[in-house]
Amino acid sequence: KGQNSIKNLDLESAAKNFESSKIYFEKAKKEFAKLDIVTRTLTQKIPRVGKDIKAGFLLLDAGKNIAEAGEQLSIAAHSLFFKPSGDQENIIQSFIDKLLALEESLDFAIPKIAQAKLRIDGINIDSISLSNKDTLYAVKQTLPSIEENLVDVSSLTKTLLHAMGYGGWKRYLLLFENSNELRATGGFIGSFALVDMGDGEIKNLEIPAGGSYDLQGSLTALVESPKPLHIINPIWEFQDSNWWPDFPTSAKKISWFYQKAQGPSVDGIIAITSSLMEKILKVAGPIAMEDYGRIITSENFVDETQKIVELEYDKIQNKPKQFIADLAPELFKKISSLNQAGIQELLAVLYQGFKEKQIVIY
């Protein structure tokens, strides 16, 4: 029942079913312990019966471990995906609290599954009297992959908390790549932001008004660009540093150029394409940019942004990317005010973005 509830994403019922299973397994173990010591000794001395008794005891122990793991994980998953976060202002902290609860449940569940696997591996299935051996074989084959998947989720959860600055601030270089101007990692680096994260919140956000070209004047290294780039620029600079399709290689070079332009060291590089921004805006909704006389939507984001940053910016002030700097905080406000359904939709968009490499992280 617990297994079926999980398949139907009824995690609340799954937790209750696993709890019931755990109680039954505990009760069975106690019943066995009540058996007269002479009776237990005699049954275990009879080879065939003895093997069945030993296997039964191992199965009860394995079942209890699996039920305990299932109960804890179902509770944590239900809280993460379906329990309302309450106050919108505390939605980020609520999300972190849920991630911490999931991490704690995984730390509890993984050893339980490992113990269950060990118990079942200790059974010679062919040598015991059991009518539904196929079920036991299936469990034996499935537990290793369950353990492996839980370890992967645990690693991802810990990494996500770490990346969000839980337990210590993190500084990231966030690149806005224009998908309409092809480059190896997804688009031309027209703009970028320096982002400081702490305990899941953006503590500081800096977006240069001149975009990536702002770094040209402060670059202290003179580097010849790769030969195919000579047609654009024989000098290699930050805006053209995403040269390799392998993102870690490009990210290291991006970070190098940023520091050579007297920027600080960073903990990571994140690149987002304009295609993904359109999908994010579809979830967040239209953004009124009164100073620019525009309402930015998912449908007009790319066209309007290109018009403003390439044609309509103030040539005297020469801050073509100021629009991006003004738009970003408004977008973050819209995202932070999303309800639970909106957050789930946004997570689905980001997940698809990761699969399509519309967002990449080093």
pLDDT tens for each residue of 168-185: 899 999 999 998 889 999
d(CA 38, CA 55): 19
pLDDT of residue 5: 84
DSSP 311: I
Q: How far is CA 275 from the centre of its chain?
A: 20
**Segments in the chain below pLDDT 70:** 38-40, 42-44, 46-48, 50, 84-92, 313-320, 340
Single-letter amino acid, residue 111 = P
Q: What three-state secondary structure class fits 297?
A: coil
pLDDT of residue 209: 76
Single-letter amino acid, residue 130 = L
Q: What three-state secondary structure class fits 296?
A: strand
Strands 359-361 and 268-273: antiparallel
Helices (H) and strands (E) in the chain, counts: 11, 7
pLDDT of residue 206: 87
DSSP 229: G
Residue range 273-309, pLDDT digits in tens = 989 999 999 999 999 988 888 899 988 888 888 888 7
Beta bridge partners of 171: 196
Say how many C-beta atoms besides its own lie within 10 A of residue 206's C-beta: 10
Q: What three-state secondary structure class fits 83?
A: coil
d(CA 340, CA 304): 30
* 3-state percent helix, strand, coil for the chain, nearest multiple of 5: 65, 10, 25
